A = this chain, B = another copy of it.
């Protein structure tokens, strides 16, 4: 990961502005819903000039996507070294991120119908999801698990896709117990890596 990007330098003015703007946007989305939030309202709440926000993010969708990206980089559960447990933990965490106030709004912003932003946001969102689960699969392969772990693509189909689908469609019962059952049904099958 590129942790040297100038906009992420901790402690600088740029980082302070970003933190204030992110905090204001998250609070406003939670209070009003993403459709009632505008960049000027975020600027006012953050105590930052509107023109700064327009220059740096351009659109609300881009700002929300930046927040989603930032969220995805911190707080991931550590690996414990067991495929099923690690998949469960990453999946539970993914669900928690999607379910918190505004969580799905940030996902929606990433898949917004704004063509250029969308392609960028989607690539980024998929990359982040991949980065959550890839280490789980890599370490299982390195340990020499039998049967071998599934592919990342199988994890997307069997775990990540149902989570997103269920959160987007607000399907009842999409909770931690459901996630553990989903993972158990997948990993418990004969030869998911076959």
Binding site for B on A (CB under 8 A): 33-35, 105, 108-109, 111-115, 119, 122, 125-126, 156-158, 160-162, 164-166, 168-171, 182, 189
**A115-B162 in contact (CB<8A):** no
Q: Which residues of B contact A113 (CB under 8 A)?
A: 33-35, 105, 108-109
Number of copies: 2
**A161-B156 in contact (CB<8A):** no
Q: Which residues of B contact A157 (CB under 8 A)?
A: 162, 165-166, 182
> Can you name the residue of chain B whose Cβ is closest to the Cβ of A154?
B185
**B122-A168 in contact (CB<8A):** yes
Q: Which residues of B contact A160 (CB under 8 A)?
A: 165
> Can you name the residue of chain B whose Cβ is closest to the Cβ of A117?
B35
> Can you name the residue of chain B whose Cβ is closest to the Cβ of A108?
B113
Q: Which residues of B contact A161 (CB under 8 A)?
A: 161-162, 164-166
Closest Cβ of chain B to A113, distance in Å, is: 4
Q: How far is the CA of A115 from the CA of B161 in the complex (A)?
A: 23
**A126-B169 in contact (CB<8A):** yes
> Can you name the residue of chain B whose Cβ is closest to the Cβ of A157?
B162
**B182-A111 in contact (CB<8A):** no
Q: How far is the CA of A38 from the CA of B161 in the complex (A)?
A: 31
**B165-A33 in contact (CB<8A):** no
Closest Cβ of chain B to A161, distance in Å, is: 4
Q: Which residues of B contact A112 (CB under 8 A)?
A: 35, 108
Q: Which residues of B contact A165 (CB under 8 A)?
A: 156-157, 160-161, 164-165
Q: Which residues of B contact A105 (CB under 8 A)?
A: 113
Query: 27 A–B contact pairs at CB < 8 A?
Result: A33-B113, A33-B115, A35-B113, A35-B114, A35-B115, A105-B113, A108-B111, A108-B112, A108-B113, A109-B113, A122-B168, A122-B169, A122-B170, A125-B169, A126-B171, A156-B165, A156-B166, A157-B162, A157-B166, A157-B182, A158-B158, A160-B165, A161-B161, A161-B162, A161-B165, A161-B166, A164-B165
